[in-house]
Structure 1
Amino acid sequence: MFVTEFGTQQASGDGPNNFTRAQAYLDLMATKKISWTNWNYSDDLRSGAVFTAGTCGAGPYPGTSRLKPAGVWVRDRDRTADDFPTG
């Protein structure tokens, strides 16, 4: 199983971030060993987009300076999500 549309805001992909609720969802997926990805790796205007406006067409992508708050949060989880046993 793989969750393909996950974000930190309301269903529209906009509005305030709810990192507490989003973390609870990630914790549930981890206990069930369900993989996930964020749904909006873009630079659109919604709060759920991980990049600030103008990032995708501009390049290069210097570190984290072009990430929105949701982008920083998702990046931190992406970097630590691979705790499933291998082999």
Structure 2
Amino acid sequence: MKYKLMVMALLFNPLYVNAIGINSMLEFTHDNEAEFTITNPADYRQFIHVGVSELRIENGEIEAIPYTRENIEDWSLSVSPSRTVIDPV
């Protein structure tokens, strides 16, 4: 009985989710540029920090290589701005 009450209490609690909208998860370059549109459906400001990783397949395994200051000479793309504030729509 106690278990059922706890489950019911969880079902009636509101769930809060931080989310942003991105127009596409895949873009192709035009003149070496691609553009993504980000929207904020929440009713508060969101602070965005973009992180980029390069994916490589080695021996049938996917290897994610994060772009950091230590490997900046190996980067094949950049993000601008990499940090921003998105106001609600």
Using structure 2 for the length normalisation, give the TM-score: 0.33
Higher strand share: 2
Q: Which has the higher contact order (CA 8 A, sep 6+)?
A: 2
> Could you say which structure has the higher helix fraction?
1
TM-score, structure 1 length as denominator?
Answer: 0.33
